[in-house]
Amino acid sequence: MAAKLTGKLGESVLRLEDPPLITGRGRFAADISFPHQLHMRIVRSNWAHAKITRIETTAAKALPGVHAVWTADDITDVPPIEFREGHIENLAPYRQRALGTGTVRYVGEPIAAVFADDAYVAEDAAELIEVEAEELPVITDASAPPAEFSPGQSTEADIVRQGYGDVDAAFAEAAHIVEAEINVGRHSGVPLETRGAIARFDASRDVLELHGAAKVPHRNRETLATMFDRPIAAVQLYESHVGGGFGVRGELYPEDILVCVATLRFGRAVKWIEDRHEHLMATNHSRQQLHRVRAALDKDGMLLAVDDTFFHDQGGYVRTHAIRVPMMTCGILLGPYKVANYRAAGHVRLTNKTPAATYRSPGRFETTFVRERLMDIIAREIGMDAMELRRRNLVRKEDMPYAIPLQVLGDDVEYDTGDYERLLDMTMDHFDWTGIQADIERRREAGETVGSGISLFVEKSGLGPSDMSRISVDRTGAVEVITGGASIGQGFETCMAQICADALGVDYRNIRVVHGQTERIDHGVGAHASRATVLTGSAVNEAALLVRAKALDVAAEQLQAPVDTLDIVDGQVFRTDDPDGPSISLGEISQILAPTRAQPEGRDPLLAADGWFYTDHQTYPYGLHLAVVKIDRETGGIKVERFLVGYDIGRAVNPMLVEGQIAGGFAQGLGGAMFEEFVYDERGQPQSVTFADYLLPTVGETPAVEMLLREDFKSSRNPLGIKGAGEAGVTGVGAAIASAVDDAIGLPGAVTQLPITPQRLKAILNAAG
């Protein structure tokens, strides 16, 4: 047996996903069509807050090619869009309906839907619809006093609280108290593919199909089944290619509900493709929070207490995520530091903006900015070196596993493994941080405005409690891995294939990975919260080991050899003590296990198995971001010259893909740190509704990230030792760049708001004189 297994766990092999994508044969939502389909176009509110008094649809309905026009009155039987994790009584009044009824609460809220034979005609008809409304007072600032959302309901939907210890006592005895007000701007995922939903009611099977699904098809299937009072098996979701997810794509939005209702009523497929203008005011926003945070320290700079009050700008409604982001904010604010006492209160406030929910690294991008800004401000206030302050307060290796009486996604926080200070030292050595500082000094003397900054963070991944996968080998030896995971471009298929290849002993290219098809498997966690590789990957590992055991069992009989002398490489089972002797392929074993052949007592047919993986707690990767920036004092422009990342992932399934995740995350973090912002005027009119106003970073602004990827501390929470990778690139970017800008202009703690636009930086420079 000279064969070498290709695609083992840990190899940077090429992606299985690429061939159709580089040849134009992908199938994204807009590429899906059905015969006789209708096209849906949404009429949206032009008002941030108004009472609708009249909607005139006669002219639209009369346009040739128009099949129907709906307003809220046409779908009174459709319930509001339910939360992903189930009903939450106190938040129920804030849910969004598919079409706004009576009062509209943000610009972009759907108020009518047109169905026509042609997308252009649907758009023509939408323009013929006249809407009249009476404007109501507008709230655009979540820290402003709450008002009335609806009769009897405050715009403060909830106050989320987490904490432990005696914060007041700690402040009473503190040597230093430091306060700060810190603002995170409103931005979001903005994938390059806009949303799309194509619903088709198949009366022959009595199945409601939703195509263009993403992220969490199984969860959405359950929600839709509940909303439409159908058995779960009578609702099927189909994920095809997804042009970026980032948290926003794949949640259930009004448009997803409308196409489903329409196909159930009309019996024709109904297709909706969002345009970019719509996307920027209809798809979930994220991030915007104002924090008023204070810290109590002893004389040595040890953190005695942190007390944070923040205002979470929820936008017009509470969507599918409910209050996950503010809860996460409370739960992970402390990051890598030990804090004896802690109190966080998050005011979840409805405003007249596009509703907000998760965006890659939800709660962590925000809190890392807040926490690391706070550390820089503390250092300034108490006269201590900021790096020394951080080192003193870090959670130590000997503290692991480190439990904090807080919750993240309903899971008790317990950091599993790691040595934060060691990674800090290794990263600084690796990138010659001392040399970088010396270089910055030289350039400053030459008159340049340059500086460096740092942020430390703890990520979370692999939320349980369980996931499953089903693996089968056919008579040719081809392997199919069925998962309830989802692919949003991250390389899911390749990762799952590598895990299976490694455990089973087959070439990863001989493995077909199924995801996002509710028809193929009953359960799945999808792709969110850096869960897929940890949770689904572990389930694939379990199933592959079961298939392997069954194959070896049969092979042992066929080769007349004990199981423990056998190995599988490249789909061929052979004796390790006689590698050139007789062997048998997995395909042949599959044939022996065919249901058409009698099996010995106690052995089921088929070379196949279901694998389940269970975990009690999430796993916590960690890392740091370092930035070097140059400032143009005249314009307030910032150039990020270098961006360095140190990250301990436990174990990388495919290092090339992990690096890809970090590089891509960084670019998104850079956008949120410097360019991207959903701006509203005082009447609640969105000012960022084209790519000319909402600025995504281009190659010109995005330096190549330099990375130190470590696998020093494997997760203790799964057999493979893996931790998540999806969000590590974005988490600390805002914080590190802010710190570097401070350093460059010689004003520690000066930046307290993201994004750091040229105007805001100029204002800081002008104020400093």
Partner 1 sequence: MSDQHDITLTINGHAYGVSVEARRTLADVIRDDCGQTGTHLGCEHGVCGSCTILVDDEPVRSCLMFAVQADGKQIRTVEGLADGDVLHPLQRAFTENHALQCGYCTPGFLMLAAGVLEREPDISDDDLLDVLSSNLCRCTGYANIVKAVRQAAAEMKAG
What 3-state DSSP class applies to 538?
helix
Residues 522-561 that bind partner 1 (CB under 8 A): none
Both structure tokens of 292: 């008023």
Q: Which stretch binds partner 1 (CB under 8 A): 299-307, 346-354, 451-459, 660-668?
A: 660-668
30 is a site residue for partner 1 (CB under 8 A): yes
Which residues in the 49-78 window bind partner 1 by CB under 8 A?
A: none
In the complex, the smallest distance separating the C-beta of residue 513 from partner 1, rounded to whole angstroms, is 16
Q: What angle do CA 534, 360, 88 make, to 5 degrees?
A: 85
Structure tokens that stand for 409 in this block: 């996604």
- Contacts of 149 by beta carbon, 8 Å cutoff, 6+ apart: 93, 94, 155, 157, 350
> For partner 1, which residue of 498, 538, 618, 668 counts as binding (CB under 8 A)?
668
Segment contacting partner 1 by CB under 8 A, of 133-141, 439-447, 496-504, 657-665: 657-665
Closest to partner 1 by CB, 382 vs 696, is 696
Q: Which is nearer to partner 1, 331 or 646 (CB)?
A: 646
* Omega prior to 755 cis, within 30 of 0: yes
In the region spanning residues 268 to 287, those forming contacts with partner 1, defined by CB under 8 A, are: 275-277
Residue 420 backbone phi and psi in degrees, to 5? -65, -40
- Applying CB under 8 A, which of residues 47, 574, 666, 678 lies at the interface with partner 1? 666
242 vs 318, beta carbon nearer partner 1: 242
Cβ proximity to partner 1: between 151 and 700 the closer is 700
Nearer to partner 1, 23 or 766 (CB): 23
Among 484, 664, 672, 724, binds partner 1 (CB under 8 A): 664
| Contact characters 678-717, partner 1, x per CB under 8 A | ------------xxx---x-xxx-xxxx------------
What's the min distance (Å) between Cβ of 21 and partner 1? 3
Cis peptide bond prior to 579, omega within 30° of 0: no
Instruction: Find the shortest distance in angstroms from Cβ 613 to partner 1.
Output: 25
User: With DSSP H G I counted as helix, E B as strand and the rest as coil, what are the percentages for the chain, rounded to 5?
Assistant: 30, 30, 40
Beta bridge partners of 472: 480, 608
Question: Residues 530, 534, 535, 537: is their CA dihedral positive or negative?
Answer: positive
Figure out which of the listed residues 657, 738, 750, 756 binds partner 1, where binding follows CB under 8 A: 657
Contact between 624 and 427 (Cβ < 8 Å): yes
Nearer to partner 1, 66 or 72 (CB): 66
- Residue closer to partner 1, measured from CB, 204 or 698: 698
Cβ atoms of 45 and 107 closer than 8 Å: yes
Contact string 8-27 vs partner 1 (x = CB under 8 A) = ------xx-xxx-xxxxxxx
Helix (H, G, I), strand (E, B) or coil at 15: coil
**Torsion angle of alpha carbons 409, 412, 413, 416, nearest 10°?**
-110
Nearest-10 crossing angle of helices 733-745, 655-670: 60
What's the CA gap between 382 and 174, in Å, rounded? 12
How far is CA 209 from its chain centroid? Answer: 25
Closer CB to partner 1, residue 65 or residue 748? Answer: 65
Give the nearer residue to partner 1 in terms of CB position, either 167 or 667.
667
- Asked if 241 is part of the footprint of partner 1 (rule: CB under 8 A), the reply reads yes
242 lies in the binding site for partner 1 (CB under 8 A): yes
Pair type for strands 566-569 and 511-514:
unpaired
Selected binder of partner 1 within 503, 667, 744, 756 (CB under 8 A)? 667
245 versus 749: smaller Cβ distance to partner 1: 245
Is residue 36 at the binding interface for partner 1, with CB under 8 A as the rule?
no
Residue partners of 237: CB distance under 8 A and separation at least 6 = 209, 210, 211, 213, 217, 218, 220, 221, 224, 516, 517, 518
Question: Closest distance between partner 1 and the C-beta of residue 145, in Å?
Answer: 37
Distance (Å, whole) CA 345 – CA 590: 58
Residue 669 beta carbon to partner 1: minimum distance, rounded to whole angstroms: 10
**Whole-number Å distance between alpha carbons of 626 and 705:** 10
As given in the structure block, the two tokens for residue 1 are 């047996």
- Write down the least CB distance from residue 623 to partner 1, Å: 16
Residue 564 DSSP one-character state: G
Per rule CB under 8 A, count of chain residues that contact partner 1: 57
Identify residue 425 by its one-letter amino acid code.
D
505/665 with CB nearer partner 1:
665
HSE of 312, CA atoms in CB hemisphere, 13 A: 35
Interactions with partner 1, residue window 93-152 (CB under 8 A): 120
Among residues 452 and 668, whose Cβ is nearest to partner 1? Answer: 668
Which C-beta is closer to partner 1: that of 490 or that of 718? 490
Q: Restricting to residues 183-212, name those near partner 1 by CB under 8 A.
A: 189-194
- Binder to partner 1 among 45, 490, 533, 538 (CB under 8 A)? 490
Among 159, 394, 656, 747, binds partner 1 (CB under 8 A): 656
Peptide bond into 362 cis (omega under 30): no
CB of 277 to partner 1, least distance (A): 8
Alpha-carbon distance 136 to 350, whole Å?
Answer: 15
Three-state DSSP state, 55: strand
Q: Interface residues with partner 1 (CB under 8 A)?
A: 14-15, 17-19, 21-28, 30-31, 120, 189-194, 241-246, 275-277, 488-491, 656-657, 659-660, 663-668, 690-692, 696, 698-700, 702-705, 729
